[in-house]
Amino acid sequence: MAEAPTDLAPILEAASDFASYPGLQNDASAKEFLDRFPLPLLFSILQTKADVSRVEGTIVACLERLFKTKFGASLIPHYIAFVQAGLQAKSQAIQCLACKAVHYMLVNAEGEGHVKIILTSNTYPLLLNCFLEGDELTSAASLEAINSIAQTPEGIKIIFPHGSEESVQLKVVAAHCSSLARIRILSLASKLFSISSLAATAVYDSNLLSLFEDQINQQDDMLMTLSALELLYELVESPHSARFLLKTTLLQLLTGLISNASVASIIRARAFMISGRLLSRADVYTTIDESRVAALILGINERLELVDDLDLNECESILEALGLIGTSQQGAALLLTSPSNVARHVIEAAFDQHGRGKQLAGLHALGNICGVERSADSVLLNDNAEEYLKRMIYATAAETPKLTPSGLFLSVLQQEPETRLAAYRAMSGLVARPWCLMEICSKQEIITIVTDASLETSKDGMDVRYQCCVAINKALSASNMSPATGIIEKLQEAVRRGPYLTKTRVEPQPVVMTAERF
């Protein structure tokens, strides 16, 4: 250990300059700095002079910049004992730096050699403690380091050891830690689940998914329950979610939350969204029992039937969840052909002008069900589902003063920009159906709005309007339909102009003015 110098001013000045350098520090600058002030000297200052004004903050910031370089990171394995000491320091700033050092060491490593250093030095338990007990910044840094360990099969074995190493078994640790630490373990499980199939398998085999069920079932602390639901929502986004989650009772748990009128609406809202995200995955329908999906859809429909008792947020969450389910072909067909007739609520909401937020959610959900987010070859559904879609839209129109689907489309296009954007999007999916194409082309006012490049002022509005225009033109070109005079030409010209060009080219004209005289 190098002895800390009496006069710290030169080192602090140099360290401050290095840490605050506005550009990226490279290997050459890191080597030059460490030739003047070696790592043992900097570590010694942290250990013995950290309580001196400015010392800790300046040296920690400098070391972080050093470790970010490939050269600086390559030195960390030689000083793993100092990293371990940092992970056990009383200072949160030093703990955070030590966690980052582990991360930088691993991301700059080639092969699994540095992961073995974590194993042989027994560094992982110290990282885990920082993750569970540290402040927000330290916990986040240690989470990043643990994720770096989990990038290799050897690293996964460190996090999920076999045998008697109960001190680091996450399920065991969760049983004896604080509620905040349990939520952090759920966060770790969610992050690890998305890394690889091997990591997801380890999470499942360790029975960590049951922690989500336990935490969600304990509804005495709403904040903790909501946190667990939010993390489950992130976990469901993983490509491995369907494979493992459907082996648990989580779907039944979500169904129970949705159907339970005594559950707080905010908790039900998250349950809707998680269910929607899970059932939006095409691979779900190859592994799940249809009766479990039917029970969930029935629970959602029962909530929608109580429309007078629903607050707006819950109603919007349900519609958004149905839209998520509708992004997959199987999900969309299921919603349209379900005995509960749940898709009817989406269509009615899409054209209900009495609830703006509800209508927006309904239009976006309708667009998803109609395939706006699906590939071109999977926009259309099976014959049965398509017939239900057509019948429900015509029935909804017949119950309004507009009478026809074309009247409904025009009415939503004449509303404020946000609703108009959602209408463009829904029509982009719907227009693949010949009956809908005929309805849209039957009203010149619809084509005038869709082809008007000067109507929208936001980039999103311009883009979505243009995509709708392209979709109509493409569907019309592939059909045998003969629309009213001028419609084809309008569409083709609008497509040619693009989403942003509002005027055709105008040749400059000379301007002749009389000279001003004084």
Rg over alpha carbons for the chain, rounded to the nearest Å, is 30
Q: Residue 290: which pLDDT band, with cuts at 50, 70 and 90?
A: confident
One-letter amino acid for residue 489 of the chain = E
d(CA 352, CA 362): 9
On the question of pLDDT at 112 being above 70, the answer is no
Tokens of 474: 């493409």
d(CA 297, CA 508): 62
Tokens of 56: 């800790």
d(CA 239, CA 284): 11
Number of H helices, E strands in the chain: 31, 0
On the question of pLDDT at 257 being above 70, the answer is yes
Q: Name the E strands within 172-213.
A: none
Burial class (CB in 10 A: 0-12, 13-18, 19+), 110: exposed
d(CA 293, CA 251): 9
Element holding 119 (H helix, E strand): helix 113-120
Q: Residue 217: which pLDDT band, with cuts at 50, 70 and 90?
A: confident
Q: Which pLDDT does position 251 carry in this prediction?
A: 87
Q: Which pLDDT does position 273 carry in this prediction?
A: 92
Say what the pTM is: 0.82
Q: Which pLDDT does position 518 carry in this prediction?
A: 44
| Domain edges within the chain | 1-159
pLDDT tens digits, residue range 462-497?
Answer: 999 999 999 999 999 888 888 777 888 889 998 998
CATH of 1-159, one of 3.30.70.980, 3.40.50.1950, 1.10.600.10, 1.25.10.10: 1.25.10.10
Q: Which pLDDT does position 507 carry in this prediction?
A: 52
On the question of pLDDT at 437 being above 50, the answer is yes
Any residues with CB less than 8 A from the CB of 63 and at least 6 apart, and which? 42, 97, 101
pLDDT tens digits, residue range 386-435?
Answer: 999 999 999 999 988 888 999 999 999 999 999 999 999 999 999 999 99
Residue whose token pair is 């074309």: 406
On the question of pLDDT at 312 being above 60, the answer is yes
- Cβ atoms of 80 and 127 within 8 Å: the answer is no
Q: Which pLDDT does position 370 carry in this prediction?
A: 95
Residue 111 backbone zone (phi > 0: left; psi -120 to 50: alpha; other: beta): left
Nearest one of 177, 176, 165 to 139, comparing CA atoms: 177
Backbone angles phi, psi at 280, to 5 degrees: -80, -10
On the question of pLDDT at 513 being above 70, the answer is no
Tokens of 385: 């589902």
d(CA 196, CA 202): 10
Where do the H-state alpha helices sit in 478-508? 487-497
Lowest mean pLDDT: which of 28-37, 44-53, 259-268, 394-403? 44-53
Exposure string for 438-471, b = 16+ CB within 10 A, e = fewer? ebbbbbeebbebbbebebbeeeebbebbbbbbbb
Q: Which pLDDT does position 282 carry in this prediction?
A: 82
On the question of pLDDT at 503 being above 70, the answer is no
Q: Which pLDDT does position 506 carry in this prediction?
A: 46
d(CA 483, CA 56): 75
- Cβ atoms of 441 and 483 within 8 Å: the answer is yes
Q: Which pLDDT does position 389 carry in this prediction?
A: 96
Exposure string for 197-222, b = 16+ CB within 10 A, e = fewer? eebbbbbbebebbebbbebbeebeee
pLDDT tens digits, residue range 359-371?
Answer: 999 999 999 999 9
d(CA 223, CA 279): 26
pLDDT tens digits, residue range 329-343?
Answer: 999 999 999 888 889
Q: Which pLDDT does position 499 carry in this prediction?
A: 87
Across residues 240-269, what is the average pLDDT?
87
Tokens of 471: 């979709």
Across residues 91-98, what is the average pLDDT?
95
Q: Which pLDDT does position 453 carry in this prediction?
A: 86
pLDDT tens digits, residue range 148-205?
Answer: 999 999 999 999 987 656 557 898 898 888 999 999 999 999 999 999 999 999 999 9
Q: Residue 4: which pLDDT band, with cuts at 50, 70 and 90?
A: low
Question: How far, in whole angstroms, is CA 407 from its chain's centroid?
Answer: 36
On the question of pLDDT at 211 being above 60, the answer is yes
Q: What percent of the chain has pLDDT over 90?
A: 58
- Cβ atoms of 87 and 123 within 8 Å: the answer is yes
Task: Check residue 238 and report its DSSP letter.
Answer: S
d(CA 297, CA 362): 17
3-state SS class at 355: coil
Across residues 272-296, what is the average pLDDT?
86
Across residues 9-35, what is the average pLDDT?
90
- Return the C-alpha torsion angle 266, 271, 277, 281, nearest 10: -170
State the chain's mean pLDDT as an integer: 88
Q: Which pLDDT does position 510 carry in this prediction?
A: 61
pLDDT tens digits, residue range 69-78?
Answer: 999 999 999 9
Nearest one of 146, 126, 124 to 190, comparing CA atoms: 146
Residue whose token pair is 């389910």: 325
Q: Residue 235: which pLDDT band, with cuts at 50, 70 and 90?
A: very high
Q: Which pLDDT does position 3 carry in this prediction?
A: 62
Q: Residue 511: which pLDDT band, with cuts at 50, 70 and 90?
A: low
- Cβ atoms of 47 and 70 within 8 Å: the answer is no
3-state SS class at 432: coil
Any residues with CB less than 8 A from the CB of 424 and at least 6 apart, and which? 413, 450, 464, 465, 467, 468
